[in-house]
């Protein structure tokens, strides 16, 4: 809160801070010109490159444009967007409220009729958005506000896609949203559709009555796998809301409830009746002409079973840092922090866990490294294999691979066609053959990688993160300054998987985790690829 009231843009007097997240702060302010209270979102630009700052500005403009298209009581109004003090600001309608997330956390889960009434209002707002050519893409309890007067309001259109807007594409290479509430097809292909918003509505309603997300697991990999392959966790409190939740959480978008059918079932639940869902494909309201962000090619089927595609998504642009509740959020809620998503299975991370951790064994990235690839220059992040020598003593870049450069500065060779996604500091690359590469980083490494892996092993295995855990080894390896490998097998819902997690210290204030996972039967065949990844990896300068 500022020491004294501050005037912004010559008309908005800032009062108290009413929310904060990874993207900045939300202030209660007074519009001196129109004599009314407003909420102003201050976007704190990330440190680093001008490109990162430009991304933040584009996101701000996109949020304002998306919400400004909508004139509906169920959507927070946007009044203005401007730049002051070198930062973008969004002026919004002030809605005295609590989020649905806060209500569930503070008061407990809702009963089925209460949740159904809220669901009807959210669905009406979504239909208005879809009719205007806008897909929200981040429907979740934190973005549903319950006003003091009972009004239900959908907020935060910061990652929405807009018909005809060139600021964002439907590419699956960059996705932004909350892991627990993302539809499988969005995770796999990045498609922004009305059907994906309806899935997120179903996950939000599940959370409202059960008090937790339907596919949440203790790790990001586990959650993403459950979204792709598992049914939702059994419902115990859903009552009359169960048919609509089941219908909205169908993994195949073509089998998912339409908005009209969802409305019918929600109304029945609100009236205290249990209705039966009828098979109906999603038929979202369509704009007059096709949005530029909607794909025209058929969706690939989700690959479930031994060759499951681990739809590792929720990639945030480099300046957004996801943290569990109580720390830093991604800026996707107007007045609450980000939802917890956990850390990737077995991957050390700089992000503290929600669960109490043993001393020095919290899931923090520590392994480290000893000399290996030098920190010399490397080919640009977009280059593909052409038989040329890698820079800085790196191996030749093979055909079928590309030289990836992360916005944070590290470099690594990655197979062509693998999907990049991001969860906080964790950067995922996922192949259609069940192989997963995860690279995490921290600036606070533990001094002994072997001791840290042993500690994390005791903690994570002890709390049941890896069913059927079989340890292969925890050993020091010669890589950069210090390093250790933790190799193990465990059971996933689709079969047995094999993992090696290399913790790498590259500098006193820099460490990485290089996590590699395959199906058990594919482990031996994958080792040449893993070795190439190790040899091509270069930490940030």
Measuring CA to CA, how many Å separate 452 from each of 361, 484, 517? 7, 9, 20
498 is written with which tokens? 């094999």
Task: Match 């309890």 to its residue by tokens.
Answer: 141
CA gap 519, 527 in Å, rounded? 12
| Contact in structure between 470 and 496 (CB atoms under 8 Å) | no
35 in active site = no
| Contact in structure between 146 and 99 (CB atoms under 8 Å) | yes
CB atoms within 10 A of CB 160: 24
Please, what is the Cα angle at 141 between 138 and 145, to 5 degrees?
100
Q: In this structure, is the dihedral angle defined by the CA atoms of residues 490, 492, 494 and 500, taken in order, positive or negative? A: negative
Task: List the strands of the sheet with 383-384, edge to edge.
Answer: 383-384, 401-405, 411-415
**Pairing mode of beta strands 383-384, 144-147:** unpaired
Length of the chain: 541
| Contact in structure between 169 and 146 (CB atoms under 8 Å) | no
> Which of 31, 138, 334, 485 is labelled catalytic?
138
CA gap 385, 400 in Å, rounded? 6
| Contact in structure between 430 and 340 (CB atoms under 8 Å) | no
Q: In this structure, is the dihedral angle defined by the CA atoms of residues 280, 284, 288 and 290, taken in order, positive or negative? A: negative
Please, what is the Cα angle at 534 between 533 and 538, to 5 degrees?
95
H helix and E strand count, the chain: 10, 21
Please, what is the Cα angle at 67 between 62 and 73, to 5 degrees?
170
From 413, 463, 534, select the one nearest 219 (Cα to Cα).
Answer: 463
Backbone angles phi, psi at 392, to 5 degrees: 60, 35
**41 assigned to a ligand binding site:** yes
| Contact in structure between 227 and 341 (CB atoms under 8 Å) | no
CA gap 350, 362 in Å, rounded? 9
DSSP 139-199: -SGGGEEEETTS-EEE---TT-EETT-TT----TTS--S-GGG--HHHHHH----HHHHHH
| Contact in structure between 75 and 153 (CB atoms under 8 Å) | yes
| Contact in structure between 484 and 477 (CB atoms under 8 Å) | yes
From 330, 306, 338, select the one nearest 495 (Cα to Cα).
Answer: 306
**Annotated binding-site positions:** 41
Active-site annotation, residues? 138
**Annotated binding-site positions for ATP:** 41
């Amino acid at each position: 809160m500022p020491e004294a009231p501050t005037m912004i843009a010559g008309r908005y007097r800032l009062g108290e801070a009413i929310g904060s997240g990874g993207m900045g702060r939300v202030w209660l302010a007074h519009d001196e010109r129109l004599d009314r209270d407003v909420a102003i979102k201050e976007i704190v630009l990330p440190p680093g490159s001008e490109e990162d700052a430009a991304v933040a500005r584009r996101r701000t403009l996109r949020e304002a444009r998306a919400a400004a298209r909508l004139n509906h009581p169920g959507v927070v109004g946007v009044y203005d967007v401007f730049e002051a003090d070198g930062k973008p600001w969004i002026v919004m309608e002030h809605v005295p409220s609590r989020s649905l997330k806060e209500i569930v956390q503070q008061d407990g889960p809702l009963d089925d009729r209460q949740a159904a009434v809220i669901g009807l209002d959210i669905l009406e707002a979504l239909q208005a958005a879809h009719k205007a050519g806008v897909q929200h893409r981040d429907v979740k309890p934190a973005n549903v506000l319950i006003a003091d007067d009972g009004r239900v309001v959908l907020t935060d259109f910061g990652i929405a896609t807009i018909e005809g807007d060139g600021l964002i594409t439907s590419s699956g290479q960059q996705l932004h949203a909350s892991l627990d509430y993302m539809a499988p097809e969005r995770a796999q292909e990045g498609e922004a559709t009305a059907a994906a918003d309806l899935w997120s509505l179903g996950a939000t309603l599940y959370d409202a009555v059960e008090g937790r997300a339907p596919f949440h697991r203790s790790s990001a990999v586990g959650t993403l796998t459950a979204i792709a392959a598992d049914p939702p966790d059994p419902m115990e409190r859903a009552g009359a809301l169960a048919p609509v939740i089941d219908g909205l959480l169908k993994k195949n978008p073509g089998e998912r409830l339409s908005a009209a059918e969802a409305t019918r079932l929600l109304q029945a639940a609100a009236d205290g009746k249990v209705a039966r869902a009828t098979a109906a494909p999603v038929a979202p309201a369509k704009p007059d002409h096709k949005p530029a962000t909607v794909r025209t090619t058929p969706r690939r089927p989700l690959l479930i079973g031994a060759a499951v595609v681990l739809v590792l998504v929720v990639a945030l642009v480099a300046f957004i840092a996801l943290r569990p509740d109580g720390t830093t959020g991604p800026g996707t809620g107007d007045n609450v922090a980000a939802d917890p998503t956990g850390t990737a299975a077995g991957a050390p991370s700089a992000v503290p866990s929600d669960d109490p951790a043993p001393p020095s064994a919290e899931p923090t990235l520590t392994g480290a490294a000893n000399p290996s690839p030098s920190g010399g220059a490397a080919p640009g992040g977009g280059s593909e294999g052409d038989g040329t020598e890698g820079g800085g003593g790196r191996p030749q870049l093979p055909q079928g691979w590309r030289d990836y450069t992360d916005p944070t500065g590290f470099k690594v060779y990655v197979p062509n066609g693998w999907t990049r996604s991001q969860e906080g500091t964790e950067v995922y690359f996922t192949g259609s053959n069940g192989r997963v590469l995860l690279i995490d980083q921290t600036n606070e490494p533990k001094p002994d990688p072997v001791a840290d892996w042993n500690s994390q092993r005791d903690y994570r295995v002890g709390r049941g993160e890896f069913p059927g855990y079989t340890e292969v080894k925890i050993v020091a390896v010669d890589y950069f300054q210090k390093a250790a490998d933790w190799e193990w097998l465990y059971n996933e819902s689709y079969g047995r998987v094999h993992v090696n997690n290399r913790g790498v210290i590259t500098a006193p204030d820099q460490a990485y985790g290089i996590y590699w996972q395959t199906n058990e039967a594919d482990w031996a065949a994958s080792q040449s690829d893993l070795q190439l990844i190790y040899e091509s990896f270069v930490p940030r300068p």
